Structure 1
C-alpha cells in the first residue's frame, strides 16, 4: 500500500472516530438517594415530586438498563405499572395496568422495581391507608433499554 493511501486511511479512521465521539452515551446516573431529611423521609413537596424522586431512584439503581437520550419514535413496548410503597419504604405490591404482552419487558419492569426498593420514605401527607400509590410508564426502545416517562426526554420525531 502506498504512503498516500495509508495517510488517507489514517485520516479517514481518525475522522470517523472523532465524528462518533459525539454519539457515545452520556455518563450513566449512579445509584443515589433522593433528597431526604435526617430520618430518610423524602423532601418532595408534592406527590408528583415524590414520583419523580422514585423514578430517579429506579433509574439510578438500574442504570445499565436505562436508555440515555431521547426515546425512539416508535417504541418496542410501553408498560404501565401501578405500584404501592408503604410508610416503611417497602414495595408492597405491583399491578401491570397496560402492556403490549411483551413478557421480557414486563419482567424487566418488575425486576427493576424490586431492585430499587427500599425507596425514600414518603411524607405522611402522601399516604392513603398507610401506602402511596404510584403509576409509572416504562418506555422501551428496540434494544430493551428503557426510560421512565416521568423523567424521560421527549420522544424523537417519526
Structure 2
C-alpha cells in the first residue's frame, strides 16, 4: 500500500474515533475552544510509539500537517517550488516546543512566517521516547515545501516532486 493510502486510512480512523468519543455538544461544534484545548492536552499526555528518530519525525510531520490541514496540499509537490524553508526546532521530554528557528530559506518572508506559525500551532507534540532525547531534549530539522499558492507539505511525508 502506498504511503498516501496509509495516511488517509490513519487520518480517517483517528477522525472517526474522535467524533465517536466526543460528547454530542462538541460534535455539533459547541464549545470548540474547549475541544481544541482538550485535544491538545490528550496529545501532550500521550507518548509517541515511535522507537526511532525517523519514526518520531514522521509522527511529528503528520501531527503538524493535521494541525494545519487547510494549509497543506495533497499530491506531489510541483516541479519548481515557490519556497523551501528548513526549520530547526527543539522539543523537550514532555513534547513542548522549546525553541524554533529558520535553518535555511530562500528569504520568502511569507512562507517563513507560515512555517514558523504552523509549527507553533501544532505544539505541544507527542512525547518522544526517552531514549531519543539528549539532555532531556530532541532537536529536529524539517523542511516545508511550498507550492505557488502558499500551501505546503513536509518533506518527511511528501511524495517525490513532479518532474516538470
* Range into which the TM-score falls when normalised by the shorter chain: 0.7 to 0.9
What is the TM-score of this pair, normalised by structure 1?
A: 0.76
Q: Deviations over 1:11-54 (max 9, x none)?
A: xxxxxxxxxxxxxxx9xx57878xx9xx6111002110000000
Q: Structure 2: 5+ residue runs without aligned partners? A: 1-7, 16-38
Residue 73 of structure 1: which of 56, 79, 101 is its match? 79
* Superposition RMSD in Å: 2.2
Q: Take 1:132 and 1:113, find their aligned partners in 2: how far apart are those partners?
A: 15
Residue 52 of structure 2: which of 28, 46, 53 is its match? 46
Q: Structure 1: 5+ residue runs without aligned partners? A: 1-25
Q: Take 2:82 and 2:135, find their aligned partners in 1: how far apart are those partners?
A: 36
Deviation at 1:108, TM superposition (A): 0.2
Matched, 1:92 2:85: no
Following superposition of structure 1 onto structure 2, how do residues 4-153 of structure 1 map, counting pairs within 5 Å?
40-153=46-159
Larger radius of gyration: 1
Deviation at 1:64, TM superposition (A): 0.3
2:70 is paired with a residue of what secondary structure?
helix
Deviation at 1:89, TM superposition (A): 1.1
Q: Which runs of 4+ in 1 moved over 6 A?
A: 30-33
Q: Take 1:109 and 1:129, find their aligned partners in 2: how far apart are those partners?
A: 26
Count of residues in correspondence between the two structures = 128
1:112 is paired with a residue of what secondary structure?
helix
Q: Take 1:116 and 1:143, find their aligned partners in 2: how far apart are those partners?
A: 21
Q: Deviations over 1:62-98 (max 9, x none)?
A: 0000010001000000000110000111100012111
1:94 is paired with a residue of what secondary structure?
strand
Q: Take 1:50 and 1:115, find their aligned partners in 2: how far apart are those partners?
A: 18
